[in-house]
Chain A
Amino acid sequence: MIEIESVTKRRGRRTVLSSVSFRARPGRVTGFVGPNGAGKSSTLRILLGLDRATSGRALVGGRRYCDLPQPLRTVGALLDGGGAHPSRTARAHLAWIAASQGISRRRIDEVLDLVGLRGDARRRAGTYSLGMGQRLGLAAALLGDPEVLVLDEPVNGLDPAGVLWIRDLVRGRAAQGGTVLMSSHLMGELAEVADDIVVIADGRITAAGSIDDVVAPYGDLEAAFFALTGGAR
């Protein structure tokens, strides 16, 4: 379970997040939506220990991310495309991540096969297309076979086959009892996979609940999104 409890984040005079609270439950896919600059990435970065909240707390399985031993075995995250150094090969990028968690090198080949990058593993990450870079980030997220997935716009740059693959991945994880929290701008895609929806606008949560409950007054997810974020800049 992912728990975000009254998280507030200020940067100078600007309030980026204002008392954000929601939960992502195990066995369900939670979609996290909002306009650009609403605070989605900021929330996820606080959850994953990259940024500090001004107040409030963000927990995974009742613990802070930084308190998890070998965190990639619990949480697999995709942010900013994965952050591989452009001069390093994909295999080398996954090798150091695996080494940091005590994960066997065999697992590297498994995740490369999973994301379809085995043939390009010895190419430098700097030569990758946007979609390939995204796949590499997903490979890193899956390296520890985690039960929790936190994905920030995972279908960004992927071709239709890749989008379908992501859909199957997240639904499969949830079906196995895992927790999936994913942000996306593709309402149609999210409507296919999400069980729960959290809507954020201007740093505040405007709706949170099952997708049926949130969407019911508006007809479809896109209409709900515009209605619930319509007051945002």
Chain B
Amino acid sequence: MSYFLAELSKLVGQPAVRAGSVVTVVAPAVIAALNGTSLAHAIEMGDQGAFLSLSTVDSGFSELAIGVVGVLIIAVVSVSSEYARTPAALGRTRQLSSTLVAMPVRTALAGAKIAVLVAWVLAISLVAIPAALVATRLSLGSHATAPNLWHAAGVAAFYLTMALLAQAVTTVLRSGILPLVIFLANSSVVSVGMLLLQVTSWAKYLPDIAATSLMFTEAEFTTGAAAVSRNSAPLGAATAVCVLLGWSALSVAVTVAVWARRDA
């Protein structure tokens, strides 16, 4: 428990973590409100415009998918901050030295880092998801569709899986830049997952692609991701859950193994 509290204290004290949390909580809600207003107007005018479709079934959830950016920053910084060096005048030390001296049981330390990250991401998800869905409902007004609570859980699962994966990659590389670039790129039009989906259906088992099955209806998946995919059938919900659990378990195992074995 003391390890958990120490890691929680460290995490909360990071300005980048606070910034990432604000991004995750605020950005999807704001964008959902703006999108909702525009979509409501488009529906009333009967003009699709820039929207892929005038369906409101998945409104709010596509904006929540963008919120993963903040989660990625939190996960990366939770590890990369251990390796940042102070200037030579301050001894050229890393926070890692203090961490390992204070908490020498490495598996417990790794467990605490993972547990704190999971708890924090869950906590901000509990705020971000309702905020975005409420903003969507208010902005769409009478055009709003009742949100699918399973999809809301899917968003939380997506956030958790990506956070654990980013944490594992940063732990292996000891640097935050590469995982941040890769995972942010994956959230955009230059997604490696989407690119691979054009080549092989096995790409459906990548975590960000699998998570779309849990966050969106099939229609959204079809018009969105599968518009560039040769395989338009997404994974079933149960399969997607297993895939995300698998990626999460792999990430946790890698994080613990690296912390337990590697020299500081």
Contact = CB atoms under 8 A, between A and B. Distances in A.
A210 interface: no
B87 interface: yes
A81 B85 CA distance: 13
B91 interface: yes
A41 interface: yes
A80 B89 contact: yes
Nearest to A41: B89
B91 A130 contact: yes
A27 interface: no
Nearest to A128: B92
B85 A80 contact: no
A130 B85 CA distance: 13
B62 to A, nearest CB: 39
A133 B85 contact: no
A86 B88 contact: no
Contacts of B91: 130
Contacts of A152: 89
Contacts of B92: 81, 130, 133
B89 A130 contact: no
A79 B89 CA distance: 8
A79 B87 CA distance: 10
Interface residues of A, number: 13
Nearest to B85: A86
Contacts of B87: 80-81, 83
Interface in A102-122: none
A209 interface: no
Contacts of A130: 88, 91-92
Interface string B155-176: 0000000000000000000000
A206 B242 CA distance: 72
Interface string A126-170: 000010011001000000000000001100000000000000000
Nearest to B91: A130
A82 interface: yes
A123 to B, nearest CB: 15
Interface string B77-96: 00000000101110110000
Interface in B58-103: 85, 87-89, 91-92
Interface string A62-84: 00000000000000000111110
A86 B94 CA distance: 13
A81 B87 CA distance: 8
Interface centre among B87, B88, B89, B92 (most CB of A within 10 A): B88
Contacts of A137: 88
Interface centre among A79, A81, A137 (most CB of B within 10 A): A81
A80 B90 CA distance: 8
Nearest to B93: A130
A223 to B, nearest CB: 27
B83 to A, nearest CB: 10
A27 B3 CA distance: 57
Contacts of A83: 87-88
A82 B85 contact: no
Contacts of B88: 80-83, 130, 133-134, 137
A102 B91 CA distance: 32
A137 B87 CA distance: 13
A123 B85 CA distance: 18
A116 to B, nearest CB: 18
B5 to A, nearest CB: 31
Contacts of B85: 86
Nearest to A86: B85
B87 to A, nearest CB: 5
A112 B79 CA distance: 36
Nearest to A79: B89
14 contacts: A41-B89, A80-B87, A81-B88, A81-B89, A81-B92, A83-B87, A83-B88, A86-B85, A130-B88, A130-B91, A130-B92, A133-B92, A137-B88, A153-B89
Interface of A: 41, 79-83, 86, 130, 133-134, 137, 152-153
Interface of B: 85, 87-89, 91-92
In the A-B complex, the 5 residue pairs with the smallest Cβ-Cβ separation, listed nearest first, are A81-B88, A80-B89, A80-B87, A80-B88, A133-B88
Given A79-B89, A130-B91, A133-B92, 11 more contacts: A81-B88, A81-B89, A83-B87, A83-B88, A86-B85, A130-B88, A130-B92, A133-B88, A137-B88, A152-B89, A153-B89
